Amino acid sequence: NKSVFVPAGSYLINSTLTCVNTSSLKYDGLVVHGEGCGLNNVGTEFVFSTTSGQRWLFSAESSSSAFLDRVVIRDIGLRISGASPSGSLIRLRRVFEIKFENVYLRGNNGTEYLIDGNEWVDMRFDNCYFRDADYGIATVSVSGYTSFANVIQFNACTFDDLTTATDFSLAGRSIKFDTCTWEPAESGAASANLTGNYNTYFYNCWFGDANTSGTWITAAGEQLSLYDCEVLTGSVGVDISTSFGGEIVRGRYQADTVAIDIGATRKVTVRGARILLASDNSVGIDVTAGKSHCLVDNHVVESGTRTGTIAYRLGSGTSGYLRDNNPGTVDTTIDNNATAGAWTVVDQYT
């Protein structure tokens, strides 16, 4: 029987929990479930007192063996205690079809990662809460293992008080966030979210209350897509520096410096977005690189009374199509530094 039920209560753990497949012991199909997520000491909670390393390890036997697969962790709180603990709360190494459902993950001052590892395929997080660490979840180099993370889904999750909430810049393909919340952004020195190699999607997500200046989403690799999201109060909302474009559709974007920064080498489409300029000299959409961008039916306005605001800044060497939805309350609608004729502009308001 690979189903383990843990009654409500707080359980102190002073060594690493190890779930590593061997020739004689397999953890495939393991289900660990409690009575509630442990939030505010209600329900089932594991409290790890070790000061470094990995607190809970899930792994295949080796990098050449079959994946550890079909593990479910449900209705449990996982927390690191003690002063300035380093390392990670959970390490996942060569895993397949891992699910976290209603799990509360919390670090402490000095915690580096809540979840780290590599060689991930088809992982899912439903209604999980990530809190208090340098990184919420990140792909990292693991000795002896290659770097890939494919098909990772987050549904109705919350990322709270994290320097970098998600980091798939080392490896990440088909990463999806649906109806998730980031609040607040913790540090101006890091991006709350670093996207990976190919295809990152955000649907109906909320990014709000940045503690300091910073960037909510920094996108590299190929393809970033945002649909009906609210990205608010950072220095930069979205920085798209992908090699193969992306798409932002509808939603609301507000930032102190630049709401949407486009540095992608290929086409980025921004359509139907409402953009608020929250500070003096702020820019709605700043196109710094790339060709054939498409900025259509967006609405850029000042939030309050500002000076020096620019709705669209088109950089030297860029090109594309711009059709503005409405003349907003901005000082400059279009600051065009591109070669004459490189941009087709429709409904330009001056």
Give pLDDT tens digits for 153-166.
999 999 988 888 89
Q: Which of 88-92, 115-119, 180-184, 293-297 has the lowest mean pLDDT?
A: 180-184
Is residue 350 exposed (0-12), middle (13-18) or buried (19+ Cβ within 10 Å)? exposed
Mean pLDDT throughout 127-144?
93
pLDDT in tens, 188-230: 555 678 877 789 999 999 988 765 567 888 888 888 999 999 9
At 59 the pLDDT is 97
**Strand boundaries in 34-172, DSSP class E:** 44-48, 54-59, 68-80, 88-106, 113-126, 129-139, 149-155, 158-167
To the nearest whole percent, how much of the chain has pLDDT over 90? Answer: 72
Is the confidence at residue 326, as pLDDT, over 70?
A: no
Encoding tokens for residue 168? Answer: 């798939």
Q: At CA 28, angle to CA 22 and CA 29, rounded to 5?
A: 155
Between CA 301 and CA 94 the distance in angstroms is: 48
At 130 the pLDDT is 94
At 16 the pLDDT is 95
pLDDT in tens, 217-266: 888 888 899 999 999 877 889 999 888 889 999 999 987 899 999 998 88
Structure-model confidence comparison of residues 100 and 329, the more confident one: 100
Confidence of residue 171 (pLDDT cuts 50, 70, 90): confident
Confirm if 91 and 120 have CB atoms less than 8 A apart. no
